[in-house]
A and B are shown apart, each in its own frame.
Chain A
Amino acid sequence: MSAEPLLEARSLHVRFRGRGGLVARAVDGVDLEVRRGEVLALVGESGCGKTTLARALLGLERPAEGEVRFEGAPIRYDQRFLRSYRRQVQLVFQDPTGALNPRQTVYEAVAEGIRIQRLPGDEEERVARALARSGLRPPERFASLYPYELSGGQRQRVVIAGAMALEPAVLVADEPVSSLDASVRGEILALMLELVREAGVTILVVTHDLGLAWTVADRIAVMYLGRIVEEGPAEELLARPRHPYTRALLSVVPEVAGMEPQLLVGEAPDPARIPSGCRFHPRCPLLASGEAARLGIEERCRTEDLGLAPVRGAAAGHHAACHAL
């Protein structure tokens, strides 16, 4: 893994026209680097903007402000550019059953992208290589099968093979295992790690599942209401979370032993009504407990918006957006 950013969001804003004419700021000023050869987990709850951010990184949403950069240059939104870009940065769908056409064989499903991209060389060879690489071996045994003849895990492998057939630099996997039965998830996660190790692919995994992030990610970025509120090396961030939102999130995950559960009040507000100051302040346990007042930062929490900054006394690369840090 190198520190070189392969895919980047810079001051990225994506807005939607919301209910009642309000503007939803789904992505509200995000700076994020996906580094070559790493697995980055983008973690957050529903409505936090993580899927919109991923779509913007894929070139599927046009930012209102800021830019997406790939290999050091901003991406463009003309058809020509996007077609070659999508070969490089591939989306893996969350539900393999929905993503596969039931009337298409495994071969056809995997070959489709190759045809759309008009990749040179022998199609059969590319398909066979992608299937083998995705753990469907020997490939000829699977090529003529239909989705209903496969297990859920095998279907997800076909979807991944379809992406891998284009030899992309980056896979963006949005909840890649959430539609699979729990006992099957591990093999797909293992495959993803194998692709990083053996095919040199970089993975951005978008998930609500911190356990998944702990299992596969090198680095983690936590998103809340359109912003990254904390990011850092996975071990450091999950073992020593600093942002009160990350801490609360971790404290209520049953897979974490020994943390006093910290229940947040209410639910995340609508991205059309992002609170002033620190966007987390209305739910922040530091304010509710009076800790923020004791630290003399309460006023700033309520009025002063803030971005990520290095966390004092933490490992390199551990950043958080909190007035208390």
Chain B
Amino acid sequence: MTAPLLRVRDLRVTYRGERGIVPAVRGVSFELDEGETLGLAGESGCGKSTVANALLRLLPRGTEVSGEVLLDGEDVLAMKPGRLRAVRWTEVAIVFQGALHSLNPVQRIGGQIAEAIELHDREADARARVAELLELVGIPARRAADFPHQLSGGQRQRVLIALALACTPRLLVADEPTTALDVTVQAQVLELLERLQRELGLSMLFITHDLATLSYVCRRTAVMYAGRIVEEGPSEDVFRRAAHPYAAALAAAFPVIGDPSFRKRPAGLSGDPPDPRALPSGCPFHPRCPVAEPECARVEVELWPAGEARRAACVRVLGGRS
């Protein structure tokens, strides 16, 4: 077996700022093979976007980061600035959340993509490459002369994907790339990402709160809660037959349309996801957990095998009680 393209080991990220010390990521490990897709799911504040930003060291100055982010065996966290610059875009690129605002409104889209290409490869025929990239994401090449405001929301998201692909990265990190889009447009963008992933053999880390979307786009899914992965496995299993009670509750928030068991029976948890500055003792999910046991307030268990290619961090899994 070849080594995975990306191996994250015991990643910990702590923000230090006006809001005090925030342990946003508390020991996250996962692997992503070449050409594979992994979904990272969770609610606001669970640390999923922090993980994405940590992969490319895009975190605010002063943030404490420990652990390893091995890209082809090389630790991104230990790279010198020059090497890091080369790796960004050419090895790993990110499509951001709320990216509709991250295009420069007064620059033509072709120019913006060309700039990214030329930054990394001065020899490149940027013009031809821009045309090729736009066609690749389903936008006619002539639109290169358009300004962002001349494009629809879905088209702008496509431009951002083209921008991310400008330097032929091997890993695409997509952080809520379709959240702001309408259902039908979202479907177009997901289909595009899926096609690109397949045709270009891209590896993809797809981050969203929407478990249902992940089950559709990614082969494997990891669910985060309070800075840790609490369940990981094949997406369909995590979505339909979650082993961790939190993953199950999150999945239940996405009803299966047509399944009578969801009719008039909304399922949800009380309370909010915890504040990372004041995590509950033991398993941080225990105050909201419908099946918590006395020991859950005392111990936080590690990820533990929970069936074929699955892991979950719950005492019930540990004791074979799930």
Chain A positions near chain B (C-beta within 8 angstroms): 45-46, 151-153, 181-190, 193, 208, 210-212, 214-216, 234-235, 238-239, 248-250, 252-257, 261, 263-264, 266-268
Contact = CB atoms under 8 A, between A and B. Distances in A.
B43 A189 contact: no
B20 interface: no
19 contacts: A46-B182, A181-B44, A181-B273, A182-B210, A182-B250, A183-B288, A184-B272, A187-B269, A210-B183, A210-B257, A211-B254, A211-B255, A214-B255, A215-B262, A216-B264, A249-B184, A254-B254, A256-B257, A263-B187
Given A215-B255, A256-B257, A261-B191, A183 B269 contact: yes
Interface in B238-297: 246, 249-250, 252-258, 260, 262-273, 288
Contact of B209 (A182, A193, A238, A252): A182
B254 A267 contact: no
B272 A255 contact: no
A250 B258 CA distance: 11
Contacts of B258: 214, 238-239, 256-257
B52 to A, nearest CB: 19
Interface of B: 43-44, 152-154, 182-188, 191, 209-213, 215-216, 246, 249-250, 252-258, 260, 262-273, 288
Contacts of B188: 263-264
Contact of A153 (B184, B263, B270): B270
B262 A267 contact: no
Contacts of B153: 267
A263 B43 CA distance: 28
Nearest to B192: A263
Given A151-B272, A249-B183, A252-B184, A186 B267 contact: yes
Given A45-B184, A186-B252, A254 B262 contact: no
Given A186-B269, A187-B268, A255 B254 contact: yes
Nearest to A210: B257
Interchain residue pairs A-B with the least CB separation, the first 10? A186-B268, A252-B187, A189-B266, A254-B212, A182-B253, A45-B182, A151-B272, A186-B266, A181-B43, A254-B216
B183 A182 contact: no
B268 A185 contact: yes
